[in-house]
Amino acid sequence: MSEPHIERSVDRSHMQVSDEVAIQIENMNKWYGQFHVLRDIDLTVQRGERIVIAGPSGSGKSTLIRCINRLEEHQQGKIVVDGIELTNDLKNIDKIRREVGMVFQHFNLFPHLTILENLTLAPIWVRKTPKKEAIDTAMHFLEKVKIPEQADKYPGQLSGGQQQRVAIARSLCMKPRIMLFDEPTSALDPEMIKEVLDTMIELAEEGMTMLCVTHEMGFAQAVANRVIFMADGQIVEQNNPHDFFNNPKSDRTKQFLSQIL
Positions touching ligand ADP (CB under 6 A) are: 32, 35, 37, 55, 57-63
Q: How far is CA 139 from CA 18, 166, 195, in A?
A: 30, 11, 18
Residue with smaller CB distance to Mg ion, 181 or 244: 181
Residue with smaller CB distance to ligand ADP, 35 or 88: 35
- State the number of binding residues for Mg ion (CB under 5 A): 1
Strand order of the β-sheet with 35-46 is 35-46, 21-32, 76-81, 84-85
Residue with smaller CB distance to Mg ion, 35 or 90: 35
Q: From the CB of 70, what's the least distance to ligand ADP, in Å?
A: 14
Q: From the CB of 32, what's the least distance to ligand ADP, in Å?
A: 3
DSSP secondary structure, 167-213, as one string: HHHHHHTT--SEEEEESTTTTS-HHHHHHHHHHHHHHHHTT-EEEEE
Q: From the CB of 218, what's the least distance to ligand ADP, in Å?
A: 20
Residue with smaller CB distance to ligand ADP, 122 or 187: 187
CA distance 206 to 225: 14
Q: From the CB of 236, what's the least distance to ligand ADP, in Å?
A: 12
Q: From the CB of 63, what's the least distance to ligand ADP, in Å?
A: 3
Residue with smaller CB distance to ligand ADP, 56 or 207: 56
Residue with smaller CB distance to ligand ADP, 56 or 148: 56
CB 84 within 8 A of CB 61: no
Q: From the CB of 60, what's the least distance to Mg ion, in Å?
A: 8
118 binds, among ligand ADP, Mg ion, none (CB under 5 to 8 A by kind): none
Q: Candidates 61-69, 89-97, 106-114, 155-163 — which segment interacts with Mg ion by CB under 5 A?
A: 61-69
63 binds, among ligand ADP, Mg ion, none (CB under 5 to 8 A by kind): ligand ADP
Residue burial 191-203, b: 16+ Cβ < 10 Å; e: rest: ebbbbbbbbbbeb
Which is it for the CA torsion 156, 157, 159, 162, positive or negative? negative
Left if phi > 0, otherwise alpha if psi is -120 to 50, otherwise beta: which for 186? alpha
- For residue 184, how many C-alpha atoms fall within 13 Å in the half-sphere facing its CB? 31
DSSP secondary structure, 113-155, as one string: S-HHHHHHHHHHHTS---HHHHHHHHHHHHHHTT-GGGTTS-G
Q: From the CB of 63, what's the least distance to Mg ion, in Å?
A: 8
Residue 62 touching Mg ion (CB under 5 A): yes
Residue with smaller CB distance to ligand ADP, 134 or 211: 211
Interface with Mg ion (CB under 5 A): 62
